[in-house]
Amino acid sequence: MTDLRRVRNGEDGFTLLEILVVLAILALLVGLVAPAALRQLGGARNSVARQSIARLDTVLDLYKLDVGSYPATDEGLGALLHKPSGVENWNGPYMRGTDVPKDPWNRPYGYQSPSTRPDHDYDLCSGGASHAQPQPGVSGAICNP
């Protein structure tokens, strides 16, 4: 009768060195890929902020067509959702929802009318990833063109 049991000769499984080499390769890959992925995420948020500001520019223009002027600084973007007192010809709400939109970093947009910049009617800015003050001229702020 033949013994069907296999004789172990040390070739089964992985050595500790092989496992460590695989872990080192994986760590290198994560170290190279993660920063690039995070840069892409930051760039995407900046792009979304610019697109949102462009959309709000359009909505503010619609408000001006109806009312005759942009909302004052103290009325802010809330005037697009709720009729300010003393405003005639308001045909809002001009946006969906009940809350004033926030930037991609979940902070409120800065709004000022009249603008502090020449050739602009108002300033609409996000503080960006750097948590800058949402106003034009501040490094890291994303504002209406």
Q: What is the pTM of this model?
A: 0.67
Topology at the third CATH level for domain 36-143:
Glycoprotein, Type 4 Pilin (3.30.700)
Three-state SS for 24?
helix
88: Cβ–Cβ under 8 A, 6 or more apart, which residues?
A: 67
State pLDDT tens for residues 23-52.
888 888 888 777 776 666 667 888 889 999
Q: Give the per-residue pLDDT at 28.
A: 83
Domain boundaries, the chain: 36-143
If we measure between CA atoms, which residue out of 96, 99, 121, 98 comes closest to residue 111?
A: 121
- Structure confidence by residue, pLDDT tens digits, 66-89: 999 999 999 999 999 999 888 888
